[in-house]
Structure 1
Amino acid sequence: MNFEEAHRIRNLPPYLFARIEKIVAQKKEAGVDIISLGIGDPDLPTPDNIIEEMNKAIRNPVNHQYPSSVGMLSYRRTVADWYKNRFGVEIDPATEVVSLIGSKEGIAHISWCYLNQGDTVLVPDPGYPVYAVGAILAGAEPYYMPLHEKNGFLPDLAAIPEEVAQKAKMMFINYPNNPTGAVADETFYKEVIEFAGKYNILVCHDAAYSEMAYDGYKPLSFLQIPGAKEVGIEFHSVSKTYNMTGWRVGWAAGNASVVKALGRLKSNIDSGVFQAIQYAAMAGLTGPQDSVEKMRSIYQERRDMLVDGFNKLGWKLQKPKATFYVWAPVPKGHTSESFAELVLDKAGVIITPGTGYGQMGAGYFRMALTVEKDRIVEALNRIKDNIGKVLF
């Protein structure tokens, strides 16, 4: 039997990384040794102290029951303490933090809390696809804010038409940025807060990469800027910081009424995060941070190797200050898709076409630093030997 899909599903594009996974599987089945610089999934292990805490917590029968849908208070206190220690931000754990099944889940669901059919949401382009997808599922219409290299991949708020700003109910921002690796300063966040206050817009900041920074750079939290909690919330997780992408645990913090609304929605559609995983996340946030420093050092070394290697091939790339992504323009005569296809077919290397992150990603591609150094060297050599002569 054939069943008609709902319009909200029919209108969704295939998820970018699902397509990449399918291509990789097909190539591997054909016997091709694939080097994937596509999906940003840490290849480094979860630190031992976190695994040990999980092993302990999972054996406690108390943790086998339904958890709180908003998260254990001890978990939320740990998040609040982390914000205080890392950013100097005061967070009320009882009212200003809600647990999430990974930040992606909360980012998708926040639109359901505040957007109605036909509402407008401001979404960065290029940007993480879930910002727009969550809004579309809620019946809203994304207005895409172009991120131009000449502006440091920051949205130009002054360029948003007045009628759009008046209608908009939410805005998504993300710094350090996926996919561009761009960073934001205090001046930008102040502009966002002023803009949001003027037009009564809820700001949702995705800070998943705040701990993934190099050369001594320390990213800001949106919440540490005065007035931020009046207009918005911040999404975060332990996924990238402690190599726990598969564990699915994160949080939203900030405006108490928004946190409450998100928690109310979640109480109706999920049963919260498994408590043993919350304890494991707490062990990461409160434990020794030497693993995080080691992670930064490893990614920085890989970043330098990859950027220097591409620059030797003819690119003129700057080394990103944060994230584990390198965002690069395609050579002349290529589109994002045609260059990604060329690199895959001729070199067996997966790169992500920039158009997977929006129309403004056209002419770019993204590479992730989530493979070991010898594989980066191999990828560079394959590109040089197989297609290097025709790149520029």
Structure 2
Amino acid sequence: MIEVANRLKHVEEYYFSKKLREVAFLQSQGKPIINLGIGSPDLEPPFKATMLLKDSLDEEGANKYQSYQGLPELRDEIARFYKKRYKVNLSGKTEVLPLLGSKEGIMHISMAFLNPGDEVLIPNPGYPTYSAVTKLLEAKPVFYDLKEENHWLPDFVALERLDLSKVKIMWISYPHMPTGANAPNKFYDEVIAFGRRHNILIVNDNPYSFILNKKPISIMRYNHAKEVCLELNSFSKTFNMAGWRVGMLVGSYEHLNAVLKVKSNMDSGMFYAVQKGAIEALKCSDMWFVSLNSVYEQRRELIWKLAEALNCTYDEYATGMFVWAKLPPHLKSEEFTDLVLKEHSIFITPGTVFGSNGEGYVRFSLCSPEEQIKEAIARV
């Protein structure tokens, strides 16, 4: 066998890639698995967006390569969306870059700014892709603690004690995944000042800001943000378009241009019809968000009941499309979730997937119909 690259020796297959194979196998054996582990929206995208995608298929040039920077209309509509929803002024021409999903952006940003040996501040717990991509590029993950007693926020006093001379990027994500914690205004000012003080690129991964959250926030609305910040955002959660693979990156022209140098060598543009559908999705009225969150509110109430049935506790003020629940003392996350899968055929995610500080916690997804969640409660 041809020997694989050294970089793969430090990276494992994505947890959900492996676990979903196990779940699929159990289902093939007749097990009635209820999947409450994955944040893949089961609701429909905006109707007008779907219709415009279909109508655009027959337009002249629809099947040709598209611009690496996306349609000008899409970039302008993203800028208008940021203005309306976040009160942030952006130039569609120079400060917006559409992506084939925001997960792509994590790799592109890292490739644009990291050299082997550079260091990256990564939240613990946090999205596993941050550390995986860092390792793939032969940079070094430096995990910073997020803990319940500090409301899942970074301890800047502790961060200042670190040797930050090799740190190039700091990943943050608020509303936080997986805990659903929100950050106060003070935090954004602090993290921007921290980035400016140490010449660190702060990247806010922001796909959950419209899910069960009354006050969506973008880091770009704060003073000096464009100097040291980038923000990833996504259509996947906000508009139920996960499979469409549409995301966006916003920030200064200089930062985006560096990312574009990578991106333009990695893909040949987003499919025209998908971009047209995305434009229409961004035009959704307030009623779209009210309706979406009404469904998630009802589901969350049921998930809370399921968590209680499993003797777990949770934060009623957390936001996003997950419920982060604390296990009873002395229980281990992976042992607990394996037991729930074995005894009740319910798949939930162990907190340790997101880092060592996730030990003692589990994560429930809200991306299943009420009937399935009620069935899960009945089984328990």
Shorter-chain TM-score: what band? Answer: over 0.9
State the shift of 1:195 in Å.
0.5
Q: CA RMSD in A?
A: 1.4
Aligned to 1:390: none
Instruction: Name the amino acid aligned to 1:142.
Output: P
Aligned to 1:302: 299
Q: For residues 1-392 of structure 1, what are the structure 2 equivalents within 5 Å? A: 2-160=1-159, 162-214=161-213, 217-311=214-308, 313-383=310-380
Consecutive unaligned residues in structure 2, runs of 5 or more: none
Q: Percent identity?
A: 39
Consecutive unaligned residues in structure 1, runs of 5 or more: 384-392
Indicate if the aligned counterparts of 1:99 and 1:272 stay in contact, CA closer than 8 A. no
Alignment coverage as a number of residue pairs: 380
Aligned to 1:389: none
CA distance in 1, matches of 2:234, 2:132: 20
Change beyond 3 A, Cα 1:309–1:336: closer
State the shift of 1:164 in Å.
2.8
State the shift of 1:312 in Å.
5.3
Indicate if the aligned counterparts of 2:234 and 2:246 stay in contact, CA closer than 8 A. yes
Q: Please give the per-residue CA displacement for 1:245-277, whole angstroms capped at 9, x wherever unaligned.
A: 000011100122111111111111111211211
Instruction: Name the amino acid aligned to 1:39.
Output: I
SS at match of 1:172: strand
SS at match of 2:245: coil
Range moving further from structure 2, 240-249 or 61-70: 61-70
State the shift of 1:365 in Å.
0.9
Instruction: Name the amino acid aligned to 1:136.
Output: K
Q: Please give the per-residue CA displacement for 1:212-248, whole angstroms capped at 9, x wherever unaligned.
A: 124xx21211111111111111001111111000000
Aligned to 1:388: none
Instruction: Name the amino acid aligned to 2:68.
Output: S
Indicate if the aligned counterparts of 1:67 and 1:275 stay in contact, CA closer than 8 A. yes
Indicate if the aligned counterparts of 1:307 and 1:318 stay in contact, CA closer than 8 A. no
Q: Please give the per-residue CA displacement for 1:106-162, whole angstroms capped at 9, x wherever unaligned.
A: 012211111111100001111111111221122110100111001111111221254
Instruction: Name the amino acid aligned to 1:97.
Output: V
SS at match of 2:83: helix
State the shift of 1:172 in Å.
0.5
State the shift of 1:163 in Å.
4.3
TM-score using structure 1 length: 0.94
Indicate if the aligned counterparts of 1:70 and 1:98 stay in contact, CA closer than 8 A. yes
CA distance in 1, matches of 2:284, 2:368: 26
CA distance in 1, matches of 2:344, 2:309: 17
CA distance in 2, matches of 1:289, 1:301: 19
